[in-house]
């Protein structure tokens, strides 16, 4: 029998996790996969990782475990220490089912579990209230019920979101008063028919803007109100999680939510405008920094054994970037690392005014993509993806992103800062909790490259051909701009009414500019 590698000397976290069994919900999600990878990669002596998995789209939990093990995220582990993957154990179940849907015989497998990470949730902002409650609120109640039966439980970490209280400008590391009574909410969802519940939801969830933030806040209340537990609990609140800074690879990304969806859609020439305030802080958080902080949170929770719930806001507030910088990075790096077979030149840009955004969205995306789809159908050309469906998804994605890109929050991070200072130098060499270490220019470059390589599965050897194709799209893009300018000029010359409107607008603009300039230099 081959001896397991020894834990790094002086590092607190690998020594803490050595020999421990872990239970994880949401293991197949973006953050869940990185959580598993970091546990296996940095804690060679860790025990078994029990992963709650449900049947999804006809794929059994057993098959999903095999698919997870084959994931690209574990390539380094496969090369350096493949036996670590043998520690992954599937637990059939579903967070939306009573008692998590775990069979009785499988509960015996969990008796040695000492740390629980609960990250399963629905991320849809427009989810039905009943579904959001089932996935986000009842799930944590069921997880705590399970923890009550585990004889060796030492810590539960509930993964929430920094935006569970979006109506506040300053968010502290505490559980705020719930927006509704938890017992009444559960009774309401159970008793009221779905159509009626959908009608009363907007008024009922105020001041929360959507069911996602509302149920995330209610989940925190469920954690706080469970006072008869025998184990410590922490709430972990990350901001907008994006591609990794370093681990498992720079730029690793595996979902199309938010900014990564913008990169993919803009890079393919589908998205040309999105809504944002240019100088609003974009609280984007690399996934490996989030997960390294999460691992340290579980360690501190188990060691301190505090009876009250401790909250950790994980934010890049100390090292901010802006949505304008994100936009400029796309304009810089998408032509350098173009996506394969783009249908138009990557020319996405942001606007602040919602009405202007909707108008440009209709003119530059909705109309062209619908027309292109109908032309292709008429010509009998089959597309892998429907352009109309892609346009609808982009509009939904843009509405979600606008929620963050038009607002700014200040997240207090004292608990995370104290946690970072508490770790040893050996821990700091393994786990990065410091958002000041982010070089945003490098982060954005790797984000674009990672979206191409890891999310869209496009090969590096195809970049040269992609560049040639993008160059052709560039000339077509410029030719179209020139054609539109000529068309508008001809309309202006030939149509007196249009010409008068344009001339009047120009005169007004010049008079305003002159008045402003005159006031500045003191001659007006």
pLDDT in tens, 118-147: 999 988 888 999 999 999 999 999 999 999
Query: Residue 500: pLDDT above 70?
Result: no
pLDDT of residue 171: 96
At a CB cut-off of 8 Å and minimum separation 6, what does 32 contact? 24, 26, 119
**What pLDDT was estimated at residue 351?**
86
Could you tell me if 80 and 152 lie in one domain?
A: yes
* Residue 333 located in a structural domain: no
- Do 511 and 423 lie in a common domain? no
> Which residues lie closer than 8 Å to 469 by C-beta, 6 or more apart?
338, 340, 341, 342
Task: Choose among 205, 198, 170, 341: nearest CA to 270.
Answer: 341
How many Cα atoms are found within 13 Å in the side-chain-facing hemisphere of 439? 7
Instruction: Please give the structure tokens belonging to residue 500.
Output: 């008068």
Altogether, the residues listed in the chain come to a count of 524
- Rounded to 5 degrees, φ, ψ at 88 are -80, 125
- Residue 239 inside a domain? The answer is yes
Question: Quick one: CA dihedral 443, 444, 448, 449, positive or negative?
Answer: negative
Same domain as 428, residue 515 = no
Give yes or no: residues 524 and 419 share one domain. Answer: no
Q: Are residues 479 and 429 in the same domain?
A: no
In a domain, 363, yes or no: no
> Do 66 and 140 share a domain, yes or no?
yes
pLDDT at 6 over 50: no
The model's confidence at residue 520, banded by pLDDT at 50, 70 and 90, is very low
Same domain as 117, residue 56: yes
DSSP class per residue in 434-501: -GGG--HHHHHHHHHHHIIIIIS---GGGHHHHHHHHHHHHHHHHHHHHHHHHHHHHHHHH-HHHHHH
80 is written with which tokens?
A: 């350096």
Domain containing residue 62: CATH number: 3.40.50.720
Axis-axis angle for helices 354-361, 387-405 (nearest 10): 170
pLDDT at 504: 63
User: 306 or 482, which is more confident?
Assistant: 306
Based on the fold, state whether residues 419 and 503 are members of the same structural domain: no
Query: Are 211 and 126 members of one domain?
Result: yes
Co-location of 235 and 312 in the same domain: yes
pLDDT at residue 475, rounded to an integer: 82
Beta strand 233-238 with 155-159 is parallel
Locate 162 and state its tokens: 């920094």
Does residue 173 lie in a domain region?
A: yes
Q: CA quadruple 314, 318, 323, 328: dihedral positive or negative?
A: negative
Q: Classify residue 291: in a domain, yes or no.
A: yes
In which domain, by residue range, is 498 found? 465-524
User: Does any domain span residue 114?
Assistant: yes
**Cβ atoms of 470 and 335 closer than 8 Å:** yes
- pLDDT greater than 50 at residue 205: yes
User: What average pLDDT score do residues 181-209 get?
Assistant: 92
Q: Is the pLDDT of residue 49 over 80?
A: yes
pLDDT at 3: 39
- Give a yes or no: residue 398 inside a domain: no
In 10 A of CB 269, how many CB atoms? Answer: 21
The total number of structural domains in the chain stands at 2
Asked whether residue 234 is assigned to any structural domain, the reply reads yes
Residues 429 and 506 in one domain: no
> Both 165 and 73 in a single domain?
yes
């Amino acid at each position: 029998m081959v001896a397991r590698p020894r834990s790094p000397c002086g590092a607190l976290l690998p020594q803490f996790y050595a020999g421990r069994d872990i239970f994880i919900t949401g293991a197949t999600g973006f953050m869940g996969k990185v959580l598993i990878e970091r546990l296996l990669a940095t804690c060679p002596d860790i025990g078994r990782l029990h992963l709650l998995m449900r049947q999804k789209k006809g794929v059994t939990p057993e098959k999903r475990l095999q698919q997870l093990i084959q994931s690209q995220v574990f390539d380094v582990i496969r090369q350096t220490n493949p036996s670590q993957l043998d520690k992954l154990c599937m637990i059939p179940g579903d967070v939306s089912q009573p008692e998590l849907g775990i069979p009785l015989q499988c509960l015996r497998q969990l008796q040695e579990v000492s740390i629980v990470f609960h990250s399963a949730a629905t991320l849809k902002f427009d989810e039905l209230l009943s579904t959001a409650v089932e996935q986000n609120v009842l799930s944590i109640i069921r997880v705590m019920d399970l923890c009550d039966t585990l004889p060796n439980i030492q810590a539960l970490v509930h993964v929430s979101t920094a935006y569970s209280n979006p109506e506040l400008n300053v968010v502290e590391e505490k559980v705020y008063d719930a927006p509704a009574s938890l017992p009444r909410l559960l009774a309401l969802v159970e008793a009221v028919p779905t159509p009626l519940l959908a009608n009363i939801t907007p008024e009922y969830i105020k001041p929360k803007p959507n069911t996602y933030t509302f149920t995330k806040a209610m989940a925190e209340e469920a954690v706080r109100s469970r006072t008869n537990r025998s184990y410590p609990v922490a709430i972990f609140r990350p901001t907008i999680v994006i591609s990794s800074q370093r681990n498992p690879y720079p730029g690793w990304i595996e979902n199309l939510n938010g900014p990564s969806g913008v990169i993919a859609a803009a890079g393919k020439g589908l998205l040309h405008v999105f809504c944002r305030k240019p100088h609003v802080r974009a609280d984007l958080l690399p996934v490996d920094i989030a997960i390294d902080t999460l691992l340290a949170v579980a360690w501190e929770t188990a060691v301190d054994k505090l009876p009250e719930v401790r909250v950790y806001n994980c934010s890049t507030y100390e090292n901010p970037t802006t949505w304008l910088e994100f936009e400029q990075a796309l304009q810089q790096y998408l032509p350098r690392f173009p996506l394969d077979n783009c249908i138009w030149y990557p020319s996405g840009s942001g606007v602040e005014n919602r009405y202007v955004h909707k108008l440009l969205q209709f003119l530059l995306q909705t109309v062209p993509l619908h027309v292109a789809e109908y032309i292709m159908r008429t010509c009998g050309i089959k597309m892998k993806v429907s352009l109309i469906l892609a346009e609808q998804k982009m509009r939904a994605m843009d509405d979600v992103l606008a929620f963050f890109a038009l607002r700014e929050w200040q997240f207090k991070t004292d608990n995370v800062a104290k946690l970072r200072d508490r770790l040893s130098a050996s821990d700091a060499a393994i786990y990065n909790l410091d958002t000041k270490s982010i070089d945003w220019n490098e982060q954005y470059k790797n984000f674009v490259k990672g979206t191409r390589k890891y999310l869209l599965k496009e090969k590096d050897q195809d970049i040269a051909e992609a560049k040639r194709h993008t160059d052709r799209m560039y000339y077509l893009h410029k030719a179209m701009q020139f054609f539109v300018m000529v068309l508008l000029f001809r309309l202006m010359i030939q149509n007196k009414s249009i010409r008068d409107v344009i001339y009047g607008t120009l005169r007004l603009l010049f008079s305003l500019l002159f008045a402003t300039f005159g006031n500045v230099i003191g001659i007006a």
